[in-house]
Amino acid sequence: MSTSMGLSSSSRLPKNRAVNRQQLFSTIKRVVVKVGSSTLTEGTDLSLIKMERLVEELSQVKQNGIEVVLVTSGAIAAGRGRLAHYFQDSAGSTLDPSQSTKVASCNSGINPVIPELQAAAAVGQIHLMYGYKQLFEQFGHLAAMILVTQDDFDHRQRYTHISDTLRTLLRFGVIPVINENDTVAVDEIKVGDNDTISAYVTNLVEADLLLILSDQAGFYTRDPRKYPEAELISTIIQITDEIRAAAGGAGTEKGTGGMQTKIRAAEIVTGAGEIMVIADGSQPLVINQVLSGREVGTLFLPPDATRRMSARRRWIAYSRPTRGVLFVDDGAKKALTTGGKSLLPSGIRHVSGDFKFGDTVSCCDGNQQEFARGLVNYTAQETKQILGKHTRQLQKIIGNFYYDEVIHRDNLVLLKSSQN
Ligand code: GLU
């Protein structure tokens, strides 16, 4: 049984009526498809049959005139299969390939399981990518390999370089195949999951759709593996607290199983004005079914589909972690949301987090509701010193200063959910 949640008005969609998926998907020109290890593996190794099925479908999509970017997992799984004799006695041997990265990111470098998993990824990446190269060639397409880390999305220049490379590859008709660079990605610079990477990539190339192929049929009201009465939600128009709660945390009682990162991905993608679908990767021809507008999986719609965010604004608001929060008063909130103004020190009441010049920070109102994100002109320390003060007092408090604004309006992005 399927249902709808978080229904609200949206200008592209008739209020409270079923979404016409056929119409919606008929306009898609560029798609990012994300596959998890479980969709690509059989037992403890990559399944060439599963990979071939995926590549054949993607090739078909491309032949139909839609540009394709693939975000893939499977390196650790492929490497562990080939290093099985080393993994037998280590902590890694207990890992399910589809869970391996989550475990790696939990162990924060102290447990030797991380270098082992990185070694597995290094061994596996070459097989994974070689597999894609061979298979795409078989179907008449060229593939290109791109490995990324959080750092690459954080830095404006690197971000732009990835964007330029991807756009050029797409112009050349090449299919980019992307994975996290597990060798260098630990702690701070690790995105940690390919759901989030795929959302970053969707925003970066301004794709019309992110399709996440999962081991579940979509997003359920509860974890369907534990609760048979759980219902598949067919359309989510707004990511509400109810939906975040249903996604739960990894391995929590309430969680719907691996859905937390998918909801985060949906927030990133729909926040920028694009759509996302979660569908069952094991279902034959599922990509084709989604793109032809069939009622499969869960569709996430943007709060306001008429306003697609510019590439730079996507980078500010959705491609890097927020490093702190500025709590502002009502007057400042009004000036930012309806007056198109910059954020001045006088409107800030409280600061949290540890950020430096140029980081992305959140702006929250008195009810702790986040309504904007922006690039900050001062460090956390400086902002604490100048909050509540008039601009003319800045010189006296922190000596030489270069900005009247803590966040200039050109570097401020209002979050769409705050404008409903
Ligand atoms: N980079 C990891 C791998 O290739 C996967 C990360 C993930 O599944 O989220 O195995």
- 138 and 178 in a single domain? The answer is yes
Ligand 1 centroid from CA 100, angstroms: 8
Ligand 1 centroid from CA 121, angstroms: 8
Who's near 134: CB < 8 A, 6+ residues apart?
none
- 307 and 365 in a single domain? The answer is no
Are 127 and 82 spatial neighbours (Cβ–Cβ below 8 Å)? yes
CATH number at residue 183: 3.40.1160.10
The residue among 288, 313, 338 that closes a domain is 313
- 263 and 307 in a single domain? The answer is yes
Ligand 1, residue 78: give the atom nearest the CA: 10
Find the mean pLDDT for residues 99-108: 37
Ligand 1, residue 197: give the atom nearest the CA: 9
- 17 and 154 in a single domain? The answer is yes
The CA distance from 358 to 377, in Å, is 6
Name the packing angle between helices 260-271 and 194-204 (round to 10°).
Answer: 10
Does the structure show a pLDDT above 70 at 103?
no
Does the structure show a pLDDT above 70 at 225?
yes
Which residues lie with the beta carbon below 6 Å from any ligand 1 atom? Answer: 36-37, 73-77, 101, 121, 179-180, 182, 193-194
Report which secondary-structure segment, H or E, holds 2.
strand 2-5
Ligand 1 centroid from CA 126, angstroms: 14
Nearest to 275 by CA among 240, 311, 303, 245: 303
Nearest to 25 by CA among 371, 271, 207, 293: 293
Given this model, what pLDDT does residue 249 score?
A: 57
pLDDT digits (tens, 9 = 90+) for 345-355: 999 999 999 99
Please give the sequence-ordered ranges of beta strands (E in DSSP) within 47-134, or none if there are none: 67-72
- 122 and 35 in a single domain? The answer is yes
CA dihedral 318, 321, 327, 332 (to 10 degrees): -30
The residue among 294, 313, 332 that closes a domain is 313
Ligand 1, residue 182: give the atom nearest the CA: 1
Most distant CA atoms of the chain, gap in Å: 69
402: containing domain: 322-419
- 258 and 404 in a single domain? The answer is no
The residue among 253, 282, 313 that closes a domain is 313
First-to-last alpha carbon distance for the chain, in angstroms, is 30
Find the mean pLDDT for residues 156-173: 95
Specify the number of domains making up the chain: 2
Question: Token pair 């999509």 is at which residue?
Answer: 61
- 403 and 269 in a single domain? The answer is no
Given this model, what pLDDT does residue 107 score?
A: 34
Residue nearest to atom 2 of ligand 1 (CA): 73
- 302 and 364 in a single domain? The answer is no
Assign 85 a pLDDT band (cuts: 50, 70, 90). Answer: confident
User: Percentage of the chain surpassing pLDDT 90?
Assistant: 64
- 295 and 329 in a single domain? The answer is no
- 178 and 262 in a single domain? The answer is yes
Sequence letter at residue 231: E
- 356 and 243 in a single domain? The answer is no
Sequence letter at residue 63: Q
The CA distance from 117 to 93, in Å, is 10
Predicted TM-score (pTM) of the model is 0.85
Token pair for 50? 């599963």
CATH number at residue 335: 2.30.130.10
Name the packing angle between helices 311-318 and 156-171 (round to 10°).
Answer: 130
Ligand 1, residue 77: give the atom nearest the CA: 10
- 276 and 369 in a single domain? The answer is no
Question: Token pair 């929590």 is at which residue?
Answer: 252
The CA distance from 98 to 73, in Å, is 9
Average pLDDT, the chain: 85
Ligand 1 centroid from CA 138, angstroms: 25
Given this model, what pLDDT does residue 192 score?
A: 76
